[in-house]
Amino acid sequence: MERNSDFCTGVQILISRMESNPEEFTTGDKWYWIMSKVVDAKRNPIHHANTLPELTTEEINALFDAYTPFLRKKFDDSVLREVLSSEEKELSYSVTTAPPAVLGNSLGGSWVQHQTHINKHKAVLNTLGLKEKL
């Protein structure tokens, strides 16, 4: 990440913490109060003076650039969670509301095939640590 000795100490600390403690920026709201303002200031440069007047444009840009990978990860996780959740809900509904003999006909495969498909999705969710969030 870009570090500049002219940046205020708070900016330098946040950039360092993004590298050393990324979980603080991916879970919870520990730094949301400031990072939401950074994102607003970056996306609306005209309002920068009202959003974070204490920071320079360069400091806003450096914080935003350091934070962008976290924003992208949150976006990717949200999309993946929704896709997997939707598919699991559809399959789960079909599996639990129809007897195995009907599943083969209504869903185009055997009950075992559908259960295997569901289990694959659950394995992906477990790997990503998302199961408990669905």
Q: What is the pLDDT of residues 101-124, one digit of tens each?
A: 554 445 555 555 556 666 666 766
**Global model pTM greater than 0.85:** no
Per-domain residue ranges of the chain: 9-133
**Assigned token pair, 32:** 């949301």
Q: Does the pLDDT value for residue 133 go beyond 70?
A: no
Say how many Å lie between the first and final Cα of the chain, rounded: 34
- Helices then strands, counting H and E runs in the chain, come out as 7, 0
Average predicted confidence (pLDDT) for the chain? 77
CA–CA separation, 130 and 82 (whole Å):
11
